[in-house]
Amino acid sequence: MTKMVIFFCYFATLLGEVKAQSYKITVNITGLRSDKGQLYLSLYNSAGGYPKKASAAFRLSFAPISHGRSTLIFDGIPGGLYAIACYHDENNNGKLDTNFFGIPVEGIGASNNARGSWGPPKFQDAKFIVNSDTSQTIKIMY
């Protein structure tokens, strides 16, 4: 009976360790040209839909802006590969506004400060590994 109790305690400890392996991603956004509106962030764990399809994101969030900066923490994130896309919804209409040609007229950014050529950045360029608490600093481009 004692061996069974010891085994159960050991097994429960292992399960606790597996559950505890989630991390936080602190995202610091700089370069915002105004404090109007808010910042929308999408956290992706695969290339599918990145960065345009918010419904494909692993986690969505928004953050207020103060003095041209914003900080957001994604908590409880399992280890793996991720990429962040964000935009400054300056007029607070809940979408990224574009001009006639589809070019954003509001600020945009991506993890690793990835930039696309003739379009949005690729997941491959924006991805980063989460295997501990980590942070990303993204400079918004207008």
Domain assignment present for 9: no
Query: Which CATH number do you get for residue 45?
Result: 2.60.40
Domain assignment present for 4: no
Q: What is the pTM of this model?
A: 0.85
The string of DSSP codes covering 21-62 is -EEEEEEEEE--S-SSSEEEEEEESSSTTTTT-GGG-SEEEE
Residue 19: per-residue pLDDT: 55
Domain assignment of residue 37, given as a range: 22-139
Residue 47: per-residue pLDDT: 98
Please count the structural domains in the chain: 1
Domain assignment present for 13: no
Mean pLDDT by 10 residues, the chain (142 residues): 44 48 97 98 98 97 97 98 98 97 96 95 98 98 96
Sole residue written with tokens 């400054």? 88
